[in-house]
Amino acid sequence: MKVLLVIHGLSAGGAERAMSELATFLAGRGWGVVLTTISGTVEPDFYPLDPSVRRVRLANPAPASGTFGKISANLQRIRALRELLAHERPHVVLSFLETTNVLCLLAVRGLRVPIVVAERTDPAQHTTVPAPWRLARQVLYRRASMVVAQTEAAGAWLRAQCHCAVTILANALRPLPPASAAREPLLLSVGRLDPAKGFDLLLEAFATVHRDFPGWRLAIVGVGPLAGNLRTRAATLGIEDRVEWAGQRSDVEAWYARAAIVAQASRFEGFPNVVLEAMGMGAAVISTDCRSGPRELITHGHDGWLVPVEDVPSLAAALRMLMSDAVLRRRLGAAAMAVRNRFEAGRMLGSWEQILAAASASAKT
């Protein structure tokens, strides 16, 4: 079996990590794996790949400006994907993320190559996708052999809006080191510094309670377009000396092991790797109760704490409660570690293998 995996790029991110881990898993299972990125950039991959994975970067399209320039660039990507398909002759294609999915569905037309496409966030909430891409998704997703969503909420939306076959498959929890019993008075948050992740809300909540907990500090791991704005906001709130900006890290599990609390204030999510991994490392986790994602991981009050989305007073109250109660933190963290069994990597990645094998088999019948 040979699979072509397609994604926009392989920088740091949840979808990028998931695809990299799947590529290595499938290679270990004896598949021929070709992983291609369509962004045209040549920056190093953030996540490691098995040496047997064939890594392909599509050439950078001609510089695009304006609507017609962008259309031309995407037509070049479609043409390059068709050439790659003709050269590699995979048994099945797997694409991640909505715009890449649309391009791949256009590229395979007429080639009799089965394709599986995966949404990596909640499409009902991800409203920044431009209208032409949303329309193309509605038309083209029904032509996929299978659409994979991470949560039941996302799957229901896709079935209703795109009239396509959908299967639900959560993220795998990558192997993690043993959890640590020793925790620092550290509040940690991890993710891309963009509006969706709600770091502005977390800064406001921490500013509300920080004077009552002078030994605590907030660490933020991640990079993104709002980095400057968030630093300015921290200064305006008077907490700049209590916030550590850790940047992009490859050793994030070490931060999970140190933190007494991991808090995610996201406005929307797909299936939050940060919450999953923090729970797997035994941290006490506070998360906003997004429409999809966190509630499928956390049972409120048992293995984590859920608060309403964009509700700074509720988030601050949850921080105050957990920061003042070490017993509660330990109880939540101990219960959270059950995710190591629920989302064990071999079983979850094995489900991906079954989906791809079934798509390939259906094309032969």
Residues 260-272: pLDDT tens digits?
Answer: 999 999 998 888 8
Q: Which of 235, 278, 273 is CA-nearest to residue 255?
A: 278
Region of poorest pLDDT, from 29-33, 36-40, 85-89: 36-40
At which residue do the structure tokens 């890290």 appear? 249
Classify the C-alpha dihedral 5-9-12-15 as positive or negative. negative
CA distances from 42 to 46, 55, 104 (A): 12, 12, 21
CA-based nearest residue to 317, from 204, 209, 238: 209
**CA–CA separation, 305 and 299 (whole Å):** 8
Mean pLDDT of 183-211: 96
Contacts for 183 with CB less than 8 Å, ≥ 6 apart: 258, 259, 260, 283, 329
* pLDDT of residue 321 exceeding 90: yes
Are residues 244 and 267 in contact, defined by beta-carbon separation less than 8 angstroms?
no
CATH architecture for segment(s) 184-342? 3-Layer(aba) Sandwich (3.40)
Average pLDDT, the chain: 93
Other C-beta atoms lying within 10 Å of the C-beta of residue 326: 13
Structure-derived torsion over alpha carbons of residues 290, 345, 259, 319, reported in degrees to the nearest 10: 20
| pLDDT, mean of residues 20-40 | 94
What are the start and end residues of each CATH 3.40.50.2000 domain in the chain? 2-172+344-364, 184-342
Cα separation values, 228 from 225, 233, 235, 343, Å: 8, 9, 11, 35
Instruction: Return the bridge partners of 96, or none.
Output: 118
Structure token digits, residue 202: 């977390």
Say yes or no to pLDDT of 346 above 60: yes
CA distance 309 to 266: 7
Nearest to 151 by CA among 341, 296, 352: 296
User: To the nearest 10°, the Cα dihedral for 171, 176, 181, 187?
Assistant: -50
At 2, the pLDDT band (50, 70, 90 cuts) reads: very high
Q: What is the pLDDT of residues 104-139, one digit of tens each?
A: 999 999 898 999 999 988 888 777 788 889 999 999
Q: Which residue has better confidence, 244 or 293? A: 244
Per residue in 285-318, pLDDT (tens digit) is 999 998 888 998 999 999 999 999 999 999 999 9
Using DSSP, state whether 85 is helix, strand or coil. Answer: helix
Identify the CATH assignment for 2-172+344-364 out of 3.40.50.720, 3.90.190.20, 3.40.1710.10, 3.40.50.2000: 3.40.50.2000
Structure tokens at 303: 């293995």
Q: What distance in Å separates the CA atoms of residue 21 and residue 49, rounded to the nearest whole number?
A: 7
For residues 153 and 246, which has the higher predicted lDDT (pLDDT)?
246
Cα(358)–Cα(7) distance, integer angstroms: 21
40 to 10, 46, 152, 224: CA distances (angstroms): 11, 16, 33, 20
Closest CA to 14 of 233, 315, 272: 272
Which pLDDT score, from 0 to 100, does residue 63 have? Answer: 65
Using alpha carbons, select from 118, 107, 41 the residue that is nearest to residue 77: 107
Nearest-angstrom CA–CA distance, 42 and 124: 32
